[in-house]
Amino acid sequence: MTRIIAPLIGLGFAFVLVLGLFGTITTASEPATAEHEFHLAPKPLELASNGVFGKFDKQQLQRGFQVYKEVCSACHSIHRVAFRDLADLGYNEGQVKAIAQQWTTEQPSTNPETGEPATRKNLPSDKFPKVYANDTAARAANNNAIPPDLSLMTKARPNGAAYVHSLLTGYGESPAEVQKEFPKFTTPDGLYFNRYFPTLNLAMPPPLASDGQVTYADGTKSTVDQMAKDVTAFLVWTAEPKLEARHTAGLASVIFLLIFIGLTIGAYKSVWRNVKH
């Protein structure tokens, strides 16, 4: 009986392997899509915070916050960031208070005298309020799309900062080569062509449409590329505000380990110096 069953098990195993190989070949030979052919990897982006010795450029962060406030905040929130955190960007206490009170959305509160729901102006201790009350309101205002919170965006996407910068500067018309190779491919109404977005089409219109869209307080020329780079640097900070402290702690740890290794080697040689090998 065993002699009969063993070959059958072997044949079954071989059959499964053949099916798996056939499935792999079939998958590999699937026709290319417009997304596969024309999607681009993010362009490299140099920021002051890059690398193990990176530090934030506070002037650039303030410019990036200005771009976020004047352009991005209409649709996207940074709800994980508190107003008082802006002190890390170089704003003083008075400026932080002024920014909090100037923010258009007020915080929900309760009237202490009546107990009725009320609103109050933002305090430095408050987090940046959400733009929309819920997902339904967000969809209604954005053609059924929900604008994501940007607090952790550069951590939530592959190639983080480079992806955000490339996406902001990657809008354009669908190239003729796309239409030629994929005649059925068209950018649907309400979507916008962007070769750095995985599906080539996204619901967000170009937020940085032209040079000079923001007038920088420090006089920096506000080209589309400069604004995209500045707001990306700001979003790197919102995602990892303690980056400089982490770099400093890491460098201190490496120096400590090097010193410890040196002392260990010295102690070893001192203890065994009179021992003959």
Binding region: 72, 75-76, 204
Q: Which residues are annotated as a binding site for heme c?
A: 72, 75-76, 204
Burial 33-43 (b: 16+ CB within 10 A, else e): ebeeebeeebe
Residue closest to 119 by CA, chosen among 134, 138, 135, 101: 101
- What value, to the nearest 5°, has the Cα angle with vertex 244 and ends 243 and 245? 90
Element (H, E) at 239: helix 224-239
The tokens for 16 are 């499964």
In terms of Cβ atoms closer than 10 Å to its own Cβ (0-12, 13-18, 19+), residue 231 is buried
Buried b (16+ CB within 10 A) or exposed e, 129-153: bebbeeeeebeeebeeebbebbbbb
Which residues are within 8 A (CB) of 248 and not within 5 positions of it... i.e. 6 or more apart?
none
**What is the chain's alpha carbon radius of gyration, rounded to the nearest angstrom?**
28
Q: What is the DSSP letter of 147?
A: P
How many CB atoms lie under 10 A from the CB of residue 209? 10
Q: How far apart are CA 157 and CA 161, in angstroms?
A: 8
